[in-house]
């Protein structure tokens, strides 16, 4: 027996939250309606911000609303400060760095040593503001589409500019980090940009406090490839460190 459009859409949200991604064809078969009906359902749910559509008709639902950068700045402050200081110790004089968006990376930018003749490339408006008055930093900014929640730039223009650049090291933020899945963000635009940045860097550091490890509020993921380093706080569980190490990821705790 067919169900109402409202009930079907509620069921789609529940499926996406508990199972993850589903294709238009799979949903069409499951609910016994046409693919065009499912596409209308998805468009309506996206308009209501109950899900985010992805490539190929798949969808992803944020189990929790994405917090703005302003909100995240006050969370886990001590851990982020310690992570920032630990990550700053990895910076060599004269290095070319990429600094991502995110509250922990913003703390890292403020912890960078002075008089070290750095080149800093960033998409973060906050980092641009912090670095603008530093005489010892050559600042390179990547424009694009401004994303208010992360206070930074994403999109095709940002990605195109990366083709002209390489970095000694990239320092990335993340909404979640998993030994098996890699790093997670709220949308595909952010996660693709991080993947491209990682390809352009000789060394990659992911700065994430222990509350973000092995959890998945969102469904956009990428494996960074190669060896990379997770810089986190000492609240990380030993068994989780073992899982990261087994996956070829170096874990440094602050």
pLDDT tens-digit series, residues 21-41: 557 887 888 888 998 998 888
Can you tell me whether residue 156 is helix, strand or coil?
helix
Name which CATH class applies to 5-60.
Answer: mainly alpha
Q: How many CB atoms lie within 10 A of CB 254?
A: 19
pLDDT exceeds 90 at position 161: yes
Task: Report whether 155 contacts 189 (CB < 8 A).
Answer: yes
Domain limits, CATH 1.10.10.10, in the chain:
5-60
Q: What is the mean pLDDT of residues 49-55?
A: 62
Q: What is the mean pLDDT of residues 207-235?
A: 88
CA distance 26 to 241: 37
Q: pLDDT over 70 for what percent of the chain?
A: 84
Residue holding tokens 């959890």?
A: 215
CA distance 200 to 62: 29
Domain limits, CATH 3.40.50.1360, in the chain:
69-253
pLDDT exceeds 90 at position 139: yes
List Cα–Cα distances, 80 to 49, 61, 73, 246, in angstroms: 30, 27, 9, 25
CATH architecture designation of domain 69-253: 3-Layer(aba) Sandwich (3.40)
Instruction: Kindly indicate the confidence band of residue 63, based on its pLDDT and cuts at 50, 70 and 90.
Output: very low
pLDDT at 68: 44
pLDDT exceeds 80 at position 236: yes
pLDDT at 73: 42
- CA 36 and chain centroid, separation: 32
Would you state the torsion angle of the CA atoms of residues 81, 86, 92, 96, taken in this order, to the nearest 10 degrees? -50
Task: Report whether 232 contacts 209 (CB < 8 A).
Answer: yes
Instruction: Kindly indicate the confidence band of residue 150, based on its pLDDT and cuts at 50, 70 and 90.
Output: confident
Comparing CA positions, the residue from 199, 206, 192, 106 lying closest to residue 155 is: 192
Instruction: Kindly indicate the confidence band of residue 245, based on its pLDDT and cuts at 50, 70 and 90.
Output: very high
Q: Dihedral of CA 184/190/193/194: which sign? A: negative
Give this prediction's pTM: 0.72
Can you tell me whether residue 146 is helix, strand or coil?
strand
User: In the chain, what is the straight-line distance between the N-terminal and C-terminal CA atoms, in Å?
Assistant: 57
DSSP category for residue 92: P
pLDDT tens digits, one per residue of 171-202? 999 999 999 989 998 888 899 999 999 999 99
pLDDT at 219: 79
CA Rg value for the chain: 20
């Amino acid at each position: 027996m067919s169900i109402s459009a409202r009930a079907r859409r509620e069921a789609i949200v529940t499926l996406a939250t508990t199972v993850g991604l589903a294709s238009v064809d799979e949903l069409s078969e499951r609910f016994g309606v046409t693919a065009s009906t499912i596409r209308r359902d998805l468009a309506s749910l996206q308009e209501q911000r109950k899900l985010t559509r992805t490539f190929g008709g798949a969808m992803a639902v944020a189990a929790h609303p994405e917090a703005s950068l302003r909100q995240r700045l006050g969370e886990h402050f001590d851990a982020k400060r310690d992570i920032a200081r630990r990550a700053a110790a990895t910076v060599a004089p004269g290095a070319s760095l990429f600094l991502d968006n995110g509250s922990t990376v913003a703390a890292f930018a403020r912890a960078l040593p002075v008089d070290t003749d750095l080149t800093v490339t960033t998409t973060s408006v906050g980092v641009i503001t912090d670095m603008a008055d530093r005489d010892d930093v050559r600042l390179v900014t990547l424009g694009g589409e401004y994303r208010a929640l992360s206070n930074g730039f994403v999109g095709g223009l940002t990605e195109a500019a990366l083709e002209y650049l390489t970095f000694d090291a990239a320092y990335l933020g993340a909404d979640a980090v998993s030994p098996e899945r890699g790093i997670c963000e709220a949308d595909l635009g952010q996660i693709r940009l991080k993947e491209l940045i990682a390809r352009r860097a000789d060394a990659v550091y992911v700065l994430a406090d222990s509350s973000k490890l092995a959890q998945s509020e969102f469904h956009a993921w990428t494996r960074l490839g190669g060896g990379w380093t997770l810089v986190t706080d000492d609240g990380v569980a030993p068994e989780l460190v073992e899982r990261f190490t087994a996956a070829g990821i170096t874990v440094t705790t602050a």
